[in-house]
Each structure stands twice: as C-alpha cells, then as structure tokens.
Amino acid sequence: MRAIHPTAEGTATPIGAKLRSARTAQGMSLAQVAQTTGLSKGFLSRVERDETSPSVATLVQLCQVLSLPVGALFAEPDVHHVAYADAPRINLGGVHADERLMSPRGEERVQLLRSELEPDAHGGSDLYTINCDVEALHVVSGSLTVRFAGRTVAVHAGDALTFPGREPHTWQVEGGEPAVVLWVIVPAPWSGSA
C-alpha cells in the first residue's frame, strides 16, 4: 500500500494586505519592521504584495512585531448584507419618520440607519443626545436643519454633517418636501439584538 500525500490546491491565502494594514496601523515603515525582524525590506515588500510566502516561523515573528494575532490573517472577513426590504423598522423618536436599521442586529462598532421622512418630520422640539462618539448624516434627497444649543445647520441633498452624538441636538425636515437621510452612529449606541 502506498501513502497518498495531500497536494496544495494552488491558491495561497492572500495575507499581504492584512500584514501591510497592520504595519501601517502600528505606524511602522518597512525599514522599521526589517530592522526589528532582521528580514530584508525587499522580502517584506514581496510578502506584502503576496509575491512570496513566509515560513511559519517568519509569519509568527512578523505577527508578534505587528501585534497581530496569527489567526487574524486567515479569518474570513465578517461581511453582512442587509436588504432594504428586510431591514427592521425602528423608532428612535422621530415624528413622521420611517426609520430602518440597515446595519446587522448585534453590530456594536457602527450603526447605519435609513430614514424616509415626511415633509413635516422632526426629531422632537427638545434637544436630545445619543450615547456615541460620532454621529454623521448624509441627506440623500430633500433638506433638513439640525439644531444645536447655539446654532442651526441647513443640510441639503448631497450634503453631510458630522458631530459628536453627545452634543444636544434635534432635526427637522425643511422645504415642504420629503427627505431621505442616512445616519451613521459610531459606536452603535445599542445593538438592536435585545
């Protein structure tokens, strides 16, 4: 009986972009990584372009220098698709607003909302806050004003506005026309999983 040895499928897992991303996130140059690891800049560059594959020992060494778990190089990206028709309707207090959660339930890093707003829609007369670091909105169609304690900002179709969610604010549709607005909240103030 002869031993049968497994063969490679010929498709190496691309890890170069993940290594490059980790290196730049650490603020390290190729020269710094080369000096720390004792590997040449040329070799590291080829690894980052997936033109060569490092040994397991070299890969472990690179991951240690870059503070990157080795397993992260081989993990499948966490990709979620939310169809508009399947997006759950939510109510965040907007009056005359059809609001949908477009990010996956349970996503804690970011929350994406789509609001279809009637001409008289508003966020309430009182200023409110959201427990997040950043709130951004993009007006797809229509116009609205966002009111803060000391000023009001007009945001029209195609415009975007970014501000701290903890800054007291409210909003109102303007111009007598409906509006469609995308809201991005970072991190998600609630995951929608409860």
pLDDT (tens digit per residue) in 35-91: 999 999 999 999 999 999 999 999 999 999 999 999 989 888 788 999 999 999 998
Q: What is the dihedral of CA 166, 168, 172, 175, to 10 degrees?
A: -100
CATH of domain 16-73: 1.10.260.40
For CATH 2.60.120.10, the residue range(s) in the chain are: 84-186
For CATH 1.10.260.40, the residue range(s) in the chain are: 16-73
Beta strands in 54-123 (DSSP E): 89-90, 95-101, 111-122
The residues near 168 (Cβ < 8 Å, ≥ 6 apart) are 127, 128, 129, 148, 149
Query: Which one, of 87, 123, 121, lies nearest residue 103 by Cα?
Result: 87
The structure tokens listed for 55 are 């040994």
Query: Which one, of 102, 107, 141, lies nearest residue 121 by Cα?
Result: 141
The structure tokens listed for 135 are 């709130």
pTM of the model: 0.68
CATH architecture of 84-186: Sandwich (2.60)
User: Among all chains, which residue has been given the structure tokens 């972009």?
Assistant: 17
What is the chain's pLDDT, residue by residue, as a tens digit (194 residues)? 555 655 555 556 789 999 999 999 999 999 999 999 999 999 999 999 999 999 999 999 999 999 999 998 988 878 899 999 999 999 888 999 999 999 998 899 999 999 999 999 999 999 999 999 999 999 999 999 999 999 999 999 999 999 999 999 999 999 999 999 999 999 998 755 44
Beta strands in 23-110 (DSSP E): 89-90, 95-101
